[in-house]
Amino acid sequence: MRTLLALLSVIAPSLTAATPVTIPVNASWHMQLDGKLQTPNRLVYDIDLYDTPKQTITNLKAGGRIVICYFSAGTWEDWRSDAQTYPTEALGKALPDWPGERWLDYRRDDVRQLLAKRLDLAVDKGCDAVDPDNVDGYSNDNGLSLTEAEQIDFNRWLASEAHSRDLSIGLKNAVELLPELGDHFDFAINESCYRYNECDGYSHMRSQGKPIFIAEYRTLNTSLCSRAANSGFRLQFFKVSLKGVGVPCD
């Protein structure tokens, strides 16, 4: 028995504690989810998991960058390579502003198994961290009767699965769930919290030394830059298309 346990400890390293990468609080960052990848002099890159070749990620890391890989965890996208593997029964209502995208029933075991494969893909490509999007489906017209408690359970599951693969994970939006989720995530990426007066919700995560990356879809606003600096947030201004390089406050 002792020999067997010793052997298992060698061949099953996933059973040991993971050590995800730590992203510096004041890291410069680049977020681009469409178009030919631009390469500004930024430390952190948030780029698409599917559209970015493994070699590109390898090259970015060789240049000292930290790579966050974006994917949608809460919606089904008809253009993704694994779209046909999702059961039609798991698909909810369409997202009105995003053609080809529908809410996803993440409560199902088969759906979670497929989403776990996306995390496996992130590991295979060499991503340091993941940015799972649409993790607030319960608060939208999803057609699946998702509840807040189910959303919290799913988001915690995502964090646990990422950490078990030695991946850091960011909480995307879902500001109202921060009291329940902030301790489970390593950083946050928010879209337009200043526009919706939600940025104060990140104060606890920031007090824990976790980076807060905020994207505002408007032109540079020095007043917002001052507010972000006082809060210790990393604010940047983007075009909605996310095809180019954003404008940081500094």
**What does the pLDDT read at residue 250?**
82
- pLDDT score recorded for residue 145: 98
Rounded alpha-carbon distances, angstroms, from residue 232 to 26, 110, 205: 8, 40, 11
- Mean pLDDT across the stretch 198-220? 96
DSSP labels for 33-92? Answer: -SSSPP--S-SEEEEETTTS-HHHHHHHHHTT-EEEEEEESSEEETTSTTGGGS-GGGEE
pLDDT at 28 over 80: yes
pLDDT at 122 over 90: yes
Q: Does position 12 have pLDDT exceeding 50, yes or no? A: no
Cβ-proximal residues to 174 (8 Å cutoff; 6+ apart), any chain: 135, 136, 151, 155, 181
Q: Is the pTM of this model over 0.75?
A: yes
Distance CA 176, CA 68 (A): 23
Which pLDDT value is given to residue 167? 98
Least confident of 13-22, 113-122, 152-161, 214-223: 13-22
Tell me what the mean pLDDT of segment 72-95 comes to.
Answer: 98
- pLDDT at residue 125 in the model: 98
Residues in the chain: 250
* Tens-place pLDDT, residues 221-239: 999 999 999 999 999 999 9
The pLDDT score that the predictor gives to residue 207 is: 94
Q: How far is CA 211 from CA 79, 134, 136, in A?
A: 31, 20, 20
Q: Which residue has the higher pLDDT, 7 or 164?
A: 164
> Per-residue pLDDT tens for 149-193?
999 999 999 999 999 999 999 999 999 999 999 999 999 999 999
pLDDT higher than 60, residue 74: yes
Mean residue pLDDT of the chain comes to: 93
The edge-to-edge listing of strands for the beta sheet with 29-32 is: 29-32, 44-48, 66-72, 129-133, 168-172, 187-191, 212-216, 234-237, 247-248
pLDDT higher than threshold 60 for residue 205 = yes
- Reduce the DSSP state of residue 237 to 3 states and report it: strand
Would strands 29-32 and 44-48 be described as parallel, antiparallel, or unpaired?
parallel
**Rounded Cα gap, residues 103 and 110, in angstroms:** 15
Helix (H, G, I), strand (E, B) or coil at 13: helix
Give the tokens for residue 204: 């606890």
Reading the block at residue 111, the tokens are 């759906």
| Domains along the sequence of the chain with CATH | 24-73+109-138+148-248 (3.20.20.70)
Question: Could you tell me where the beta strands, DSSP code E, fall in 173-211?
Answer: 187-191
Does the structure show a pLDDT above 80 at 14?
no
**pLDDT above 80 for 47:** yes
pLDDT at residue 19, as a whole number:
76
